[in-house]
Amino acid sequence: MATDVLYSGRAAAVAALAVAGITLTSIPAEAHPGAAGPGSRRPAVQGAGVRPVTSPGAPELPDGLSARSWMLSDAGTGDVLAAKAPHRRLPPASTLKTLFAVTVLPKFTAGTVRQVSATDLEGVGDGSSLVGVEQGGRYTVADLWRGVFLRSGNDAVHVLASMNGGWDATAKEMQQTARELGARDTSVKSPDGYDTPGQVSSAYDLTVFGRAGLANADFAGYCATARAGFPTKEGVNQIENTNRLLSGSHGMTRYPGIIGVKNGYTTNAGNTLVAAARRDGRTLLVTVMNPQSGENNAVYKEAGALLDWGFDSAAKARPIDTLRTVGTVPGDDSRIRTLTTDTVKVKAAPPASGGASAAALWGGGFGAVALALAGTFIRRRHRRRRGTPEEAA
Domain coordinates in residue numbering, the chain: 9-386
pLDDT at 390: 27
CB 299 within 8 A of CB 288: yes
Among the listed ranges 3-7, 58-62, 227-231, 351-355, which one has the minimum average pLDDT value?
A: 351-355
pLDDT at 323: 83
From 152, 202, 247, 313, the catalytic residue: 152
pLDDT higher at 207 or 50: 207
The conformational region for residue 239 under phi > 0 = left, psi -120 to 50 = alpha, else beta, is: beta
d(CA 223, CA 6): 13
Which of 25-29, 44-48, 53-57, 281-285 is predicted most confidently? 281-285
CB 273 within 8 A of CB 95: yes
pTM to 2 decimals?
0.77
The sign one gets for the Cα dihedral 51, 324, 285, 309 is positive
Q: Is pLDDT at 88 greater than 80 in this prediction?
A: yes
Q: Is pLDDT at 273 greater than 70 in this prediction?
A: yes
Among the listed ranges 140-154, 292-306, 311-325, 334-348, which one has the minimum average pLDDT value?
A: 334-348
Q: Could you tell me where the beta strands, DSSP code E, fall in 30-85?
A: 67-74, 79-84
Q: What are phi and psi of 322, to 5 degrees?
A: -140, 130
Nearest to 92 by CA among 182, 173, 206, 197: 206
**DSSP letter (8 states) at residue 31:** -
pLDDT at 7: 39
Is 190 in the active site?
no
Q: Tell me if residue 154 falls in helix, strand or coil.
A: helix
CATH code: domain 9-386 is: 3.40.710.10
Is 97 in the active site?
yes
From 84, 97, 107, 301, the catalytic residue: 97
Mean pLDDT of 178-205: 97
**DSSP letter (8 states) at residue 44:** P
pLDDT higher at 141 or 316: 141
How far, in Å, are 36, 69, 185, 289 from residue 201 at the CA level? Answer: 20, 11, 5, 10
d(CA 63, CA 364): 44
From 26, 69, 73, 94, the catalytic residue: 94
Among the listed ranges 9-23, 113-127, 158-172, which one has the minimum average pLDDT value?
A: 9-23
Mean pLDDT of 313-324: 84
pLDDT higher at 272 or 371: 272
Query: What residues form DSSP beta bridges with 8?
Result: none
pLDDT at 341: 25
Averaged pLDDT score across all residues of the chain: 78
Nearest to 190 by CA among 304, 93, 69, 296: 93
pLDDT higher at 147 or 14: 147
Q: Tell me if residue 199 falls in helix, strand or coil.
A: coil
Torsion of CA 85, 90, 93, 97, to 10 degrees: 70
Nearest to 298 by CA among 66, 36, 87, 24: 66
d(CA 210, CA 40): 22
pLDDT at 363: 29
Q: How confident is the model at residue 23 (pLDDT cuts 50, 70, 90)?
A: low
d(CA 100, CA 88): 21
AA letter at 389:
P
Q: How confident is the model at residue 22 (pLDDT cuts 50, 70, 90)?
A: low
CB 136 within 8 A of CB 223: no
Mean pLDDT of 381-386: 43
pLDDT at 35: 36
pLDDT at 314: 82
pLDDT at 377: 40
pLDDT at 36: 36
**DSSP letter (8 states) at residue 340:** -
pLDDT at 387: 36
Is 334 in the active site?
no
Helical (H) or strand (E) element with 204: helix 203-214
